[in-house]
Amino acid sequence: MPWRPMTPADIPAVSAIAEIVHPGYPERDAVYRDRIGLWPEGCWIAARDDGLPLGYLLSHPWSEGAPPALDIVLGALPAAPDTYYLHDLALLPEARGTGLAREIVEATIGRAAPSFPNLSLVAVNRSTPFWSRFGFAVQHRPELAEKLASYDADARYMVRRS
């Protein structure tokens, strides 16, 4: 499997991938360091055989209905998390269609589902059809409208019940 645990040494590559894949959703390197420090078992990087990074996934326990704002350092995880939050999945264009996304999403669901009642995320870049294939459904929550709008007009909060 080309996915391996992410380390702080991978942050420059993660940042470079994010600039290509998510230019409208910038996050500082401090956010990546924060996620690796808080929940390293939820941070993964995919690389080619020659080691060149192709994509990443950042995920961690969190509180359902309260997705973190974009570009925020959390500092701590909730004392009693009730969702497993997929913060970001990004693959370079050359890695799309290879099965890498399916592989890491299915692995993450498999690891999280036994311990959490659900998984959640904010879908951007019109990715709701992709996430729907894994059982995620759009949740219409008016209280999240302002936070979702900080991503873009098409951002959707999605939940997958375990």
What is the tens place of the pLDDT at every residue in 6-22? Answer: 999 999 999 999 999 99
| C-alpha span between 4 and 28 (Å, rounded) | 22
| C-alpha span between 117 and 10 (Å, rounded) | 31
- Region 111-127: what's the mean pLDDT? 96
* pLDDT category of residue 143 using cuts at 50, 70 and 90: very high
pLDDT digits (tens, 9 = 90+) for 24-44: 899 999 999 999 999 999 999
Please tell me the predicted confidence (pLDDT) of residue 20: 96
Kindly report the CA angle at 9 between 57 and 98, in degrees rounded to 5? Answer: 35
Please tell me the predicted confidence (pLDDT) of residue 65: 96
Which phi and psi angles does 60 have, rounded to 5°?
-170, 160
- Region 81-101: what's the mean pLDDT? 96
| C-alpha span between 129 and 118 (Å, rounded) | 18
Alpha-carbon distance values, 97 to 24, 35, 102, 128 (Å): 22, 27, 9, 16
Please tell me the predicted confidence (pLDDT) of residue 158: 98
* Residue with token string 């590559």: 13
Please tell me the predicted confidence (pLDDT) of residue 152: 87
Span 3-161: which CATH code?
A: 3.40.630.30
Query: What does DSSP say about strands 3-5 and 43-47: parallel, antiparallel, or unpaired?
Result: antiparallel
Please tell me the predicted confidence (pLDDT) of residue 30: 98
| C-alpha span between 69 and 148 (Å, rounded) | 8
Domain ranges, ordered by start, for the chain: 3-161
- Region 101-120: what's the mean pLDDT? 97
Q: Is the pLDDT of residue 130 over 90?
A: yes
Question: If we measure between CA atoms, which residue out of 63, 67, 110, 113 comes closest to residue 88?
Answer: 67
Average pLDDT, the chain: 95
